[in-house]
Structure 1
């Protein structure tokens, strides 16, 4: 990989963010893996970051990209930088609210594009067209299974976008049809997909691992928005609306089921090869997970002061500042049995969401045990499955069956 394009950019009297050689840098990172990018590249990238104050605005995306590319040399590497989350438009209840249908459309578009990118990557490997990450390629049978699950994971969002994939017995044919929806990428979407794939290794399966985790983050971000809306609806006396938002959140969570099947196709040797380079990055740091969990029920003091929440200080600050929760909102109306009886949509939404959450947790646990066993440490040198699930780190909600989505509230 030749850093000449980056040197030429730096040599300009007044370089611009729009002309930054993203492709050359990304190609280098995918060729070497972030863990082994040569020091001459990181030195040039630091020089580029040093010139940002000279550039005409806007430079926000470039600044974020350079921080992500330099996270390991800067000793700032974590889950968010591993997944390049600052460059992904993850839904966030703190942002200015938009109509629910518009937010869903934005989420569905990005969800499909992330999965279409994965399909394209796997098809290139299947076609022997020399994609990046050549180490430990899976055999064709595994790829075909992977493609089938990826198409399944994309289908609900595709249908909502009016895209129909004809029934095909061959998963490769269906995958090519699903990937075709990404042919109309805007320049910004193309850059987003490219810039959010900075793997630590050259192991083939890491591409899938990153894309699946990014799609989970995207979905949980929207779940946090829906839960926030449901809380506001309960407080405003709009119980039917609250039930509808909870039912929809349950549907979104159920739609992630094929992602678990997809992730289960990861080769154990591949996973344990690249995960040794992910020290410092763990799902324990997922802001979206913690938002969803804390919007359902205020964590107890022990959990709030554990690594799970100390790793997401802004969410912890929200909670300590009195963030409202679904459990508290419903407790306020629980005594009014007539109101609840007259709003079966709310009760149904509560049941659906609780069921979806518990199914998600069970599937997550089974896959984690399969990948990590019951004694291995977790990704990023965090505790493994006993801590993640009995200690409720990666679990979104508590262990007892709740009436709503809170832990221990019947």
Structure 2
């Protein structure tokens, strides 16, 4: 891997962000793996980061990219930097203020970008084209199965974005059709986002799949957190039918992620155990989006708050400490004013049941996959507690069980 493009950029008296040689840096990281990228590269990237104050153009993406590439040398490697989450447009309750339909359209678009990039990567393996991450490539039948699940995982977003996917005789043909169709309106910003968010720790083929699926989950959980915040606001304003409709939409979105699990299950255990040896420090227990969803459903008890799950997401912990209102809290207020109020709003009751059911199914499926990959007594990714904990944290009730006949939230843990 040639460092000359990066050296030339650094040698400029006034370098610009839009001319930064992202491609050569990404190529080097995918060739060596972040764990083994030569010091020559990290030294030059440190120099690039030091020069940022003198660089022309918007610094946001480049600064986040440099921090992500240098996370191991900075001793700041974690789940967010492993998945390059600062470079992804993760929805957030504090900043995502657009209408629900617009937010869903944005999520769908980036969901397609991530999965179509994964599909394109797998097609290169089918075609025996030289590609990064060459170790432990899966056999052709596994790749075809993987492509079938990946295409299926894009279907709801494709429909909402009005893409017309014609049927095909086999999964490979359908996958080629999908990548061609979704590449038509891809912008330079899209291409940059997709390119810079794939910085694996090693050179095992299946890590590409692992990263893209977890990124897709993070996009969805970010939007679910926004949805829950909107539901809580609607309940506080006594717009209970609107709250029920939004919660039902959130349940549908989470249910639509179901095909991502059989897609992830095509990952070869040997491949997983090979690259996870270099992921110490990064665990999905550190997922901010998931903890936001959990805490917006139900305020965690003190023991849960003291767990590694919440200590790993200090800003979410701080939100709870400042008195963040959960959906349980908002509904308790309604119930206290009129214990019959919730029973008289069937659409809200139905939304609550659907969302709780969707979360429980998601957790159960995730747990079964964790057992398949790790066994029942193995530590989890990043030296966390493994299968006694879910990848995204210990299984908790979605909502509090108050044993109140008017309480539609009562759901015990799995």
TM tier relative to shorter chain: over 0.9
Distance in structure 2 (CA, Å) of the matches to 1:171 and 1:84:
29
Matching of residue 127 in structure 1 with residue 127 in structure 2:
yes
* 1:408 CA displacement: 5.5
Quote how far apart the aligned CAs of 1:388 are.
3.6
Please state how far the C-alpha of 1:405 moved relative to its aligned partner. Answer: 5.4
* Number of residue pairs aligned between Structure 1 and Structure 2: 407
Q: Paired residue for 1:353, among 340, 343, 355?
A: 355
Contact 2:399 2:409 in 1 (8 A): no
TM-score by length of 2: 0.95
Name stretches of at least 5 consecutive residues in structure 1 with no aligned partner.
Answer: none
- Alignment CA distance shift 1:32-1:404 (3 Å): farther
| Deviation for aligned residue 1:400 | 8.3
1:404 and 1:94 map into 2 onto residues whose CA distance is: 28
Alignment partner, residue 362 of structure 1: 364
Alignment of 1:31-70 (within 5 A): 31-70=31-70
Matched-pair contact (CA < 8 Å) for 1:327–1:406: no
Shift in CA distance, 96/289, structure 1 to aligned 2, threshold 3 Å: closer
- 1:173 corresponds in structure 2 to 173
Alignment of 1:379 with 2:385, yes or no, is no
CA distance in 2, matches of 1:302, 1:367: 27
| Structure-2 change in CA distance of 1:405 and 1:210 (3 Å) | farther
Q: Compared with structure 1, are the counterparts of its residues 96 and 360 closer, same or farther at alpha carbon in structure 2 (3 Å cutoff)?
A: closer
CA distance in 2, matches of 1:347, 1:20: 52
Q: How do residues 274-353 of structure 1 correspond to structure 2 at under 5 angstroms?
A: 274-334=275-335, 336-353=338-355
Query: Aligned partners of 1:183 and 1:174: how far apart in 2?
Result: 16
Name the structure 1 match of 2:117. 117
Partner of 1:210: 211
Classify 1:400/1:140 alpha carbon distance in 2 versus 1 (closer, same or farther; 3 Å).
Answer: farther
Question: Unaligned regions of 5+ residues in structure 2, if any?
Answer: none
Correspondence for 2:91: 91
Counterpart of 1:229 in structure 2 is 230
Matched, 1:20 2:57: no
Shift of 1:284: 0.6
- Alignment root-mean-square deviation, CA: 1.7
Q: Deviations over 1:380-403 (max 9, x none)?
A: 0111111448xx924364598785
> How many Å apart are 1:334 and its aligned residue?
2.7
* Residues 194, 397 of structure 1: alpha-carbon distance in 2 compared, 3 angstrom cutoff: farther
How far, CA to CA, are the matches of 1:149 and 1:43 in structure 2?
41
| 1:96, distance to aligned residue in structure 2 (A) | 4.5
Cα 1:197/1:406, change in 2 over 3 Å: farther
Contact 1:372-1:378 at 8 Å conserved across structures: yes
Cα deviation code 1:119-139 (max 9, x no counterpart): 000001110111111000000
Q: Which residue of 2 aligns with 1:159?
A: 159
CA contact (8 A) 1:357 1:396 kept: no
Counterparts of residues 191-206 of structure 1 (less than 5 Å): 191-206=192-207
Mapped partners of 2:388, 2:400: distance in 1: 17
The question of whether the paired residues in 1 share the 8 Å contact of 2:397 and 2:412 is answered with: no
**Cα shift at 1:173:** 1.2
Shift of 1:174: 1.2
Tell me by how many angstroms 1:182 deviates: 2.3
In 2: Cα distance, 1:235 partner to 1:110 partner: 31
Separation (CA, whole Å) in 2 of partners of 1:104 and 1:404: 26
Alpha-carbon offset, residue 404 of structure 1: 5.1
Q: Distance in 2 between matches of 1:96 and 1:106?
A: 11
Look up the SS of the partner of 2:183 in the other structure.
helix
Give SS of 1:292's match: helix
Query: Would the alpha carbon gap of residues 378 and 405 (structure 1) be closer, same or farther in structure 2, given more than 3 Å must change?
Result: farther
| Dislocated runs of 4+, deviation >4 Å | 398-409
- Give the secondary structure class of the aligned counterpart of 1:237: coil
CA distance, structure 2, for counterparts of residue 275 and residue 400 of structure 1: 35
